[in-house]
Amino acid sequence: MSEKIKMITPLVEMDGDEMTRVIWKMIKDILLKPYVDLNTEYYDLGLEHREATKDKVTFDSAYATKKYGVAVKCATITPNAARVKEYNLSEMWKSPNGTIRAILDGTVFRTPILVKGITPFIPTWKKPITIARHAYGDVYKNTEMVVDANCKAELVVTAPDGTETRSLIQEFKTPGIIQGLHNIDKSISSFARSCFNFALDAKQDLWFATKDTISKKYDHRFKDIFNEIFEAEYKEKFDNAGIEYFYTLIDDAVARVVRSDGGYIWACKNYDGDVMSDMVATAFGSLAMMTSVLVSPDGVYEYEAAHGTVQRHYYKYLKGETTSTNSVATLFAWTGALRKRGELDNTPDLVNFANNLEKATIQTIEDGVMTGDLALLSTLENKTKVDTETFLLEVNKRLQNLL
Ligand code: NAP
Ligand code: MG
């Protein structure tokens, strides 16, 4: 065999938990190490090691990502009460994704992988739709109260000198409820820059939508910040790339999305992104085919699969049963990260390798070889359901033909 592909800058590798940790190793052994002289800085974010390091490893991995610019992450357990018991944890460690996102100040972009045979529920969708969700504030950092009858509710803002600004919410004659929301200009600006950068990278149009006709200060602020940053920093770049940024009302956006053929990025406020990403993911067919990348406003990238650790399959695996777990989104996290590393380091061999590995993966599924979750959905006439490892071996056969 010819020489292995060299990497210049280390890629930050964040290992994870359960079935995806098993898949992680298989991908490296079968599809990466034979071809690439893997230069990674390894961080074990598996729950045992997070416990052993008191979660320091998660913070270290995020700082390393800031330093080198590109990371690839395996799915990880976010501990709940059951996990605290199962893993005998000294603390209910926070979600690694939350910790990493806070340090990188990034936005998450989710994109489905399309293959022939898995038809979106919306038949006009021919190209992927990427959802970008603002991950700070609004209803996720709210303050709520239940209000009794005959009470007055006001918004009060106190300036440093003690001056108060008040605004009436409601004079309650009968009982009711209130909710206080906030967001921060800085966070909205970061979100906007991440979206503009991602659109330039993907060479796709960017859509942004809120309800600014009703929310004339709050949602309008989002619209204004996006506009100001676009006009000042991105308009020319977008013109040169032949792509467009446009703002519309959220209800108009929903109608347009459904009628579109895809191929753009849809930026959403926090709640809209939560709801719409589940809608778009389901409509495209499979969570196991959804990729995810965290992009910081200063251009740092962390790639992962959108799904979790596939716990149920892992317990079967532990009992020695064969599983048919879909590795495609995890594999595309690797190819996304390797391609970005190659682009930044100017190593076209690495970029080509990543492209070919994606091609081989899609070819495998379109040849009718797939894991159980896809076999249930695929409309191909001749299809074979294979186990987790066989799928990767089949991808490798096609990869060898492409290289
Ligand atoms: P999940 O791991 O995404 O799995 C939910 C179900 O979806 C699975 O049981 C499986 O259905 C199906 N599925 C998901 N990915 C699949 C794949 N690659 N191949 C085949 N089927 C797949 O979500 P969860 O069970 O709610 O969460 C498990 C753990 O993952 C939790 O501890 C959670 O904290 C963590 N999690 C991590 C991340 C992350 O790190 N980004 C994200 C979400 C959840 P069937 O069992 O019916 O086959
Ligand atoms: Mg949700």
Residues with CB under 6 A from ligand 1: 75-78, 97, 287-288, 304, 307-312, 325-326, 373
- pLDDT by residue (tens digit) across 54-91? 999 999 999 999 999 999 999 999 999 999 999 999 99
Amino acid at 263: G
Quick one: DSSP state of residue 322?
A: -
Atom 43 of ligand 1, residue of closest alpha carbon: 308
Residue 277 confidence (pLDDT):
86
Instruction: Determine, yes or no, domain membership for 294.
Output: no
Q: CATH no. for residue 350?
A: 3.40.718.10
Distance 50 CA to ligand 2 centre (A): 25
Pair 1, 132 in one domain? no
Pair 11, 79 in one domain? yes
Whether residue 319 contacts residue 383, with contact meaning beta carbons closer than 8 Å, is answered with no
Atom 41 of ligand 1, residue of closest alpha carbon: 75
Pair 6, 102 in one domain? yes
Pair 197, 253 in one domain? yes
Pair 331, 188 in one domain? no
150 burial type by CB count under 10 A (0-12 exposed, 13-18 middle, 19+ buried)? exposed
Whether residue 47 contacts residue 38, with contact meaning beta carbons closer than 8 Å, is answered with no
Quick one: DSSP state of residue 46?
A: S
Distance 287 CA to ligand 1 centre (A): 9
Cα gap 245→234, rounded to integer Å: 9
Instruction: Determine, yes or no, domain membership for 74.
Output: yes
Pair 124, 268 in one domain? yes
Pair 219, 169 in one domain? no
Pair 265, 355 in one domain? no
Count of domains forming the chain: 3
Residue range of the domain that includes 275: 119-141+182-284
Instruction: Determine, yes or no, domain membership for 292.
Output: no
Pair 6, 57 in one domain? yes
Closest atom, ligand 1, to C-alpha of 20: 18
Instruction: Determine, yes or no, domain membership for 113.
Output: no
Pair 127, 274 in one domain? yes
- Is the model's pTM score more than 0.85? yes
357 burial type by CB count under 10 A (0-12 exposed, 13-18 middle, 19+ buried)? buried
Instruction: Determine, yes or no, domain membership for 102.
Output: yes
Rama region for 283: left / alpha / beta (φ>0; ψ in -120 to 50; rest): alpha
φ, ψ (nearest 5 deg) of residue 121: -65, -20
Instruction: From 258, 284, 310, give the residue that closes a domain.
Output: 284
Distance 136 CA to ligand 2 centre (A): 14
pLDDT in 10s for each residue of the chain, 403 residues: 578 999 999 999 999 999 999 999 999 999 999 999 999 999 999 999 999 999 999 999 999 999 999 999 999 999 999 999 999 999 999 999 989 988 988 899 999 999 999 988 998 999 999 999 998 889 988 999 999 999 999 999 999 999 999 999 999 999 999 999 999 999 999 999 999 999 999 999 999 999 999 999 999 999 999 999 999 999 999 999 999 999 999 999 999 999 999 999 999 999 999 889 888 988 887 888 999 999 988 889 999 999 999 999 999 999 999 999 999 999 999 999 999 999 999 999 999 999 999 999 999 999 999 999 999 999 999 999 999 999 999 999 999 999 8
